[in-house]
């Protein structure tokens, strides 16, 4: 009998979100971290508040992905077999993720509230490595004037509407209205606090509630692997024809 994703549903959230605390084991986590760390330096984009790897490549200006497979270490065991067994991307146009962002946050670093936009099918699957972190979700209308895009966001005066604690080795899946109607961000702090069953909407699904009973934890370096399906994939052959 396979794992029933319904047991992982975050019921406090208005639309589809799922949290699986033990998605990968410790050996798999250290192998993935090793692969991330051993990537050649030019693979990294250093941003002011985190650093980033983009696999297999950055999107084009028209938000297309140049067709190219993900490397094996990002596929096995996360996509094959785990995502496939859960049927996670069955409804997505390519029935599998074709794009992964690797984000590394040192203590004090984060990402401003933003939305991921129309380049992707509205489903994000995030694997957390190395340390826990709190993801904040904001109502879109709390953001004044233009909607924010990743890297082009501004702070929000009101606090987050929902907070999700992501433990190391966990999987967080958000889709539907969670993707389209809310912004997400990670606070630039050295300590995540005010943690508890009232404030953390996936509290009951945590692997180790005891670790957060005191209501806070000190940040350590946390790495995330964010899997998505880019809607528009351009065949390299066609692109070459176009360039000629």
Per the CB < 8 A criterion, the answer to whether 49 and 194 are in contact is no
The 3-state secondary structure of 161-175 reads CEEEEECCCCEEEEE
- Cα–Cα distances in Å, from 56 out to 68, 113, 115, 196? 6, 25, 21, 38
Q: Does 174 bind ligand AKG (CB under 6 A)?
A: no
Residue 111 makes contact with ligand AKG by CB under 6 A: yes
Residue nearest ligand AKG, CB atom distance: 224
Q: Is 136 in the site for ligand AKG (CB under 6 A)?
A: no
Residues 104 and 50: beta-carbon distance below 8 Å:
yes
Contact 224, 102 (CB under 8 A): yes
Classified as helix, coil or strand, 33 is helix
Binding to ligand AKG by CB under 6 A, coded x per residue (else -) over 20-59, reads: ----------------------------------------
Residue 79 or 124 having the CB closest to ligand AKG: 124
d(CA 62, CA 25): 38
Compute the distance between CA of residue 55 and CA of residue 57 in angstroms, rounded to an integer: 5
User: Should residue 202 be labelled a site residue for ligand AKG when binding is judged by CB under 6 A?
Assistant: no
Nearer to ligand AKG, 12 or 150 (CB): 150
Contact call for residue 184 and ligand AKG (CB under 6 A): yes
150 touching ligand AKG, by CB under 6 A:
yes
Q: Is 101 one of the binding residues for ligand AKG (CB under 6 A)? A: yes
Nearer to ligand AKG, 150 or 233 (CB): 150
Q: How far apart are CA 152 and CA 85, in angstroms?
A: 36
Question: Looking at 21, 98, 103, 143, which residue binds ligand AKG (CB under 6 A)?
Answer: 103
Q: Which residues bind ligand AKG (CB under 6 A)?
A: 101, 103, 111, 116, 126, 135, 150, 184, 224, 226
């Amino acid at each position: 009998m396979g794992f029933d994703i319904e047991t992982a549903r975050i019921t406090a959230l208005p639309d589809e979100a799922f949290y699986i605390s033990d998605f990968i084991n410790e050996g798999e986590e250290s192998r993935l971290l090793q692969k991330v760390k051993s990537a050649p330096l030019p693979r990294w984009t250093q941003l002011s508040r985190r650093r980033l790897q983009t696999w297999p490549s950055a999107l084009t200006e028209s938000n297309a992905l140049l067709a190219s497979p993900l490397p094996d270490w990002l596929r096995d065991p996360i996509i094959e077999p785990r995502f496939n067994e859960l049927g996670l991307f069955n409804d997505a146009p390519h029935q599998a993720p074709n794009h992964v962002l690797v984000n590394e946050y040192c203590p004090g670093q984060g990402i401003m509230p933003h939305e991921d936009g129309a380049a992707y099918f509205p489903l994000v699957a995030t694997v957390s490595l190395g340390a826990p972190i709190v993801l904040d979700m904001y109502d879109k209308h709390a953001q004044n004037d233009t909607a924010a895009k990743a890297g082009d966001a501004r702070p929000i005066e009101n606090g987050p509407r929902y907070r999700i604690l992501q433990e190391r080795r966990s999987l967080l899946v958000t889709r539907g209205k969670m993707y389209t109607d809310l912004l997400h961000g990670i606070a630039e702090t050295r300590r995540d606090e005010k943690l508890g069953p009232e404030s953390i909407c996936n509290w009951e699904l945590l692997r180790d509630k005891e670790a957060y009973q005191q209501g806070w934890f000190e940040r350590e370096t946390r790495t995330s692997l964010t899997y998505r399906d880019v809607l528009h994939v351009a065949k390299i052959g066609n692109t070459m024809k176009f360039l000629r």
